[in-house]
A = this chain, B = another copy of it.
Amino acid sequence: MDTGKVTIHDIARRLNIDSSTVSRALNDSPRVSQKTKDKISEMAQSMGYQRNLMASNLRKNVSNSIGVVVPRISRHFFSSVIQGIEETAYNTGYSVFICQSLEELERERNIIKTLVANRVDGVLISISMETSNYDHFQLLNKQGVPYVFFDRHCDIVGNNNVIINDFKGGYDATKHLISKGCKSIIHFSGPGHLEIYKNRLGGYKEALIDSGFPFKEEHVISSKLMESDGIGIIKSLLEKGVEFDGIFCANDHVAIGAIKFMNNLGIKIPEEVAIVGFNNEPVSNVITPSLTTIHQPGFEMGIKAAELLIKNMKNQNGIFTSETIMMDTNLIERNSSRR
């Protein structure tokens, strides 16, 4: 079957030499003379040769690519991480497969399978909200594909992780509200099985206790942290007559929903209720009042995660190490808590 595409054999035939010499020349091997190299690369150029990576990779048994699995690329945080990953990958000659689980476990499973079938050399994963079962990652172990979790990780030991210090983020956010005089602080938490939300909650709890405030179960409300959840939660809190003067939200979206709704009700932010988000999404600086939030170094995280993965990919003497890199957050004070 003639595909119309030029191969090293075509070049070899034209120059009346062997295809192995062409291959070596194009790879700048010392086993080919400069004169021949020049002749070959000129011919390759003029014939419009493009190396077939599928063939090359098959032979070399690598793919020179890494897979990235995120819940959604549209989330600012994830797209900055991806930026960082691509930066490192680009500099080290890897190409990047970006995949979205859309927060669905089923898709996450399929993605892992496809990545394995495509023989990626490594995988970077931030798990979906639905992911509470980790069996599908065993496929990576079985196939000897190194992988690193970033941000949303699993509570399994022996993994490689690059994570945010969510505990400190939650702690700082809560302490900040306390320092602003809040006496009764609600926490909008995420799905309970996700480590990051457990840790943010943990930080919240400890900050309360450290400051001599009681921790109340009923002050923690879990949801999927969508904008609409913010509205619903505020509504039901008011209906139940729960008193509060501060909210720490586990992400910015749910905070935005809450702010919009409270703005409509005429509840004054930050005077009556101060609010802190998490993620530093671009919207957080656009809403009125602007939202105090916890910044996560997404770009740097991407770089670190890719570096850790590549380190593991090179270290293919069968010895897998496990390492967890924790990255620091910082609080950005804006008007939603400035008083």
Contact = CB atoms under 8 A, between A and B. Distances in A.
A156 interface: no
A157 interface: no
B74 A79 contact: yes
Contacts of A142: 48
A68 to B, nearest CB: 9
Interface in A310-328: none
B143 A50 contact: yes
B95 A52 contact: no
Contact of A1 (B53, B61, B100): B61
Contacts of A95: 114, 118
A58 B58 contact: yes
Contacts of A57: 54
Interface in A49-96: 50-55, 57-58, 61, 63, 72-74, 76, 79-80, 82-83, 86, 95
A31 to B, nearest CB: 21
Interface stretch (A16-24, A160-168, A212-220, A282-290): A282-290
Interface of A: 1, 3-5, 48, 50-55, 57-58, 61, 63, 72-74, 76, 79-80, 82-83, 86, 95, 97-98, 100, 113-114, 116-119, 139, 142-144, 256, 260, 282-283, 286-288
